[in-house]
Amino acid sequence: MAFVDLLPLIFILIALIGAGVEMNKRKRKISASQRIEILLSWIFLVIIGFGGIWAFIGHTFFADQVANSIGWPTGNPFQQEVALANLAIGVLGLISFRVTGSFRIATIIAYSIFIFGAGVGHIWQIISAGNMAVNNAGPILWIDLLLPPLIILLYLLNKHLEHKEANPSLKR
Long-range contacts (CB closer than 8 Å, 24 or more residues apart) made by 54-59: 54/7, 54/11, 54/90, 55/82, 55/83, 55/86, 55/90, 56/83, 56/84, 56/86, 56/87, 56/90, 58/4, 58/83, 59/83, 59/86
Residue (of 32, 5, 39, 25) closest to 143 by Cα position? 5
DSSP state of 99: -
pLDDT in tens, 1-18: 788 889 999 999 999 999
Q: Into how many domains does the chain fold? A: 1
Confidence of residue 76 (pLDDT cuts 50, 70, 90): confident
**Distance (Å, whole) CA 50 – CA 120:** 23
C-alpha 38: how far from chain center: 15
User: What is the rounded end-to-end Cα distance, in angstroms, of the chain?
Assistant: 50
- Does residue 27 carry a pLDDT above 80? no
Find out whether 123 and 117 touch, Cβ atoms under 8 Å: no
pLDDT tens for 87-142 read: 999 999 999 999 989 999 999 999 999 999 999 999 999 999 999 999 999 999 99
Coil, helix or strand at residue 26:
coil
pLDDT at 3: 87
Q: Which amino acid is at 61?
A: F
| pLDDT in the model for residue 171 | 61
Domain of residue 37, residue span: 3-170
